[in-house]
Amino acid sequence: MAKDNVNHAKRHLMLGTAGLGVGAATGLFSAKPAGAASNTGGAGAAVVRRVRPGEPGWPSESQWDMLGQSMQGKVFKVPDPFAGCEQSAAACDDILTQFENPYFIQDTPGATQSSGWVDAWTSRVSQYAAEVETAEDVAKAVRFANDHNLRLVVKGGAHSYLGQSNAPDSFLIWTKRLDKIEMHEKFVPQGASGVEPMEAVSVGGGAIWVDVYDKAVVKGRRYVQGGGCTSVGVGGHLQTGGFGSFSKRFGMSSGGMVEAEIVLADGSIVVANQHQNSDLFWAVRGAGAAYGIITRATLKLLPLPDTFGFAGLRVKAKSDGSYTALVEHFLKFYRDALMNPHWGEHAGFNGENELEIAMSIQGLSEAQAADVWQPFIDWVSARGDDYEITSPLRLVVIPAYNWWDYEYRTKHLPKSIIADDRPNGKAGAFWWSGSSREVSIYIAGYESGWLHERLLEDGQISALAMTLVAASRVRGFEIHFNKGLAGSPPEIARQGREIPMNPVVEHAFGLVIVAGGELTVHEGLRGHEPNKPEARSESARISQAMDLIRAIAPDAGGYCSEMSYFDENWQYNAWGRENYARLYRLKQKYDPNGVFMAHHYVGSENWTDHGFVKRG
C-alpha cells in the first residue's frame, strides 16, 4: 500500500465504510430466533446469554479433557502470547519482533493479525481452543459449544480487521491444520447431473493462499483465483467474496468456488453447491462466516496466463493546481487504457501532491505494458515545470507460474518478499514486502467505498478529481482497482449480482480505502501501548476524508471485510437492501441461536457485549 504521510514512522495507509441506511424501525431486524428464551444450551434451544468462565454451566476440566480425547486434533487452554514479557525487556522485544511475522501470528492460537481498533476492540485470548484436524473434529467442537452455551470464535488466517476471529472468554476453533490441498483433473459437484467435469482444486478451510498457489500455479501450472496477500486464510477469504491482484480478469475468489463442505450451527456436516443446499452456497460466498465453518472448498482451475507483472511509478506535482490536473489526467488515462482485465492493484493519493502507482499486470509482455504507459509518461514529461517523476516507471514481467515461486523470487526479486525464516518456520512461505505495514497493526480507522464507473464519465470526472484531491488534503488514501468489476469481462462482472455483496461492485471501477494505525503496539502491554489520543485524531481525519468522497459517491456502500467498525448502516452498505433481507432470513434458517456471531456478522444486530448477550 502507499506510504502514509501523516508524520508517524509506524503508520499504515488503508481504510473503509459505507452508507445507505437501515434500522430496527424498518421491521427487518425484529425477527427472533425460533424457540423459547432460555439460558440453557443445546442446538434446539434459544439462547439469551452465553456462559463465561467461572459461571454455572462452564465446562469442567474433565469435560474439556473428554472433548479432546474424542477428537483427532487436540483441545488446550490458550496461553498468553505475551507471557514472556514478564521475564525481561529483551524477551518482550523478541516476542514483538515475532509479531511482525504473519505466519508466527497464525501459529500462535492467542494472536491476531491486527492487535485491535481504538475504542472498538482489543485482541483477547480465548479460554480454550480446539486445534481441529478434520471436519468431524469441527463438528464435535461446535456441538460442544452448543451443549455448554459457549461463545464460539473461529481463527484461520487471523486477518479480520473487525476483530471477528477473537473474543474474550470464548472457545476457539483453530482451523490451521485443515490445510489439505488436492488437485482434480475431472471434478463434478455432488448432486450434479449432465455437468461437464472440470479441473479443480479442493482446499482445506484452514489453508493459506501461499500454499494453494504453490500447489496449483507454481507446480500445477493452472490458475486459481485467491487472495492477494499470501498469508490470508482460505476459509475466511472466500466467505467475504474475496479479491486478489488479478480479480479484474478472474473475478472474486468465491466466484470460482464450485462446492463447499460446511459445518453448520447444529454440528452437522453438509455439502453445498449450485445443485444442493444452493441457498446456503449463495450465502457463504460473500456474507461472511455467519452460516458455518468451511472445512473444504473446491475451486475452479483455469488456464494460466503467460505473464504476471508489476508496474510502479511516482509522480510529484509542484502545486496544488497541478496535482488536481494530474489526478484528473490519470483518471482519464485509467478509464481509457487501464480499466480492463490486464490491470489491477492500486494507486495512492496523498497530501504531499504525489501520485503513487503500484499496479499488477496479467497477460502482457514488458514491451506491451511499456507501450500502454508511454502516453502517460509523455504527458508528464512534457510538463516539467509542473511535475517531477520521483520514481521512474518500473516494470517487472515474469512467467505467470513464477509469480508465487519462492525460489524464483529469492533469486531474481529478493526485495519483493519477506521469508518466514524462523527455525521452525513454514518452508517456502513468504509475504509481500509491502504487506509488512499490515502486520500487527493497531487500527485508528478503516473505511472503504465502491466508486461507480459513471464517475469516470466526461461530465463527472473533473468533479471526482477535485474531490479526491480535497480528501487527500485531509488524509492519504488508495483506490484499489482490482476490487471492483467494471472493466472485467461480462461473465466476470455479473458476479457482482450473483454473489451476496453490495450490487454496486458490478459497476465499480475500484474500491477507495482510507485507513491508518500504529504498528507493533498492543493495548495492555506496558511500555508498548498504542497512542490512543493520536489514534482518535487520525480516526477523525479518516472519517472526514471518506465523508468528502461519499458526497460525490453517495451509493459507495462498503466491502464487508474492509469497512468501518462503527458504520451504523453496515447491513446495507456491505450487502444492499434486498441481499441483506435474504441473508437475514437464511441466518434464522441455518443459525437461529447465533452460534456463529461476531461484529458485523449477519444477524449480529441481535446481540450485544461481543456476542455474549442477546437483545430482548
Say what the pLDDT of residue 316 is: 98
pLDDT band at 436 (very low <50, low <70, confident <90, very high): confident
Say what the pLDDT of residue 610 is: 84
Q: Please give the full DSSP string across 85-98, using - where no structure is assigned.
A: GGT-HHHHHHHHHH
**pLDDT surpassing 90 at residue 21:** no
585, three cell numbers? 432470513
Are β-strands 387-399 and 607-608 bridged in parallel, bridged antiparallel, or unpaired? Answer: unpaired
Q: Using one digit for the tens of pLDDT, what is the confidence trace for 516-532? A: 999 999 999 999 999 99
Say what the pLDDT of residue 616 is: 72
CA 102 to mean position of chain CA atoms: 14
Rounded Cα distance between 210 and 406, Å, is: 9
According to DSSP H, which parts of 440-479 are helical? Answer: 461-474
Mean of the pLDDT values across residues 598-609?
94
Determine contact, residues 10/531, Cβ cutoff 8 Å: no
Q: Half-sphere exposure of residue 432, counting CA atoms within 13 Å on the CB side? A: 16
Rounded Cα distance between 376 and 378, Å, is: 5
Q: Please give the full DSSP string across 61-116, using - where no structure is assigned.
A: HHHHHHHHHHSSSEEEEPPPTTGGGGT-HHHHHHHHHHTT-HHHHHHSTT--SEEE
CB < 8 Å & 24+ apart, contacts of 79-86: 79/109, 79/110, 79/125, 80/110, 80/125, 81/108, 81/110, 81/111, 81/125, 82/522, 82/525, 85/525, 85/526
Find the helix or strand (DSSP H, E) in which 436 lies: none
Q: Half-sphere exposure of residue 589, counting CA atoms within 13 Å on the CB side? A: 10
Mean of the pLDDT values across residues 142-165?
96
CA 39 to mean position of chain CA atoms: 34
Say what the pLDDT of residue 80 is: 96
Tell me the CA distances in angstroms from 477 to 39, 69, 380, 434, 557, one per residue in order: 46, 50, 22, 15, 17
Q: Please report, rounded to a whole number, the percentage of residues in the chain having pLDDT higher than 90.
A: 89
Are β-strands 171-174 and 152-155 bridged in parallel, bridged antiparallel, or unpaired? Answer: parallel
Q: Please give the full DSSP string across 7-67, using - where no structure is assigned.
A: S-TTB------------GGGSTT----SS---S--STTS--SB-B-TTSTTPPPHHHHHHH
Rounded Cα distance between 364 and 310, Å, is: 11
Q: Give this prediction's pTM.
A: 0.91
Find the helix or strand (DSSP H, E) in which 353 lies: none
Determine contact, residues 420/410, Cβ cutoff 8 Å: no
Q: Using one digit for the tens of pLDDT, what is the confidence trace for 347-390? A: 999 999 999 999 999 999 999 999 999 999 999 999 999 999 99
Lowest mean pLDDT among 48-52, 315-319, 513-517: 48-52
Say what the pLDDT of residue 449 is: 98
**pLDDT surpassing 70 at residue 235:** yes
The three-state (H, E, C) secondary structure of 238-295, written as one string: HHCCCCCCCHHHHCCHHHHEEEEEEECCCCCEEEECCCCCHHHHHHCCCCCCCCCEEE
Say what the pLDDT of residue 46 is: 56
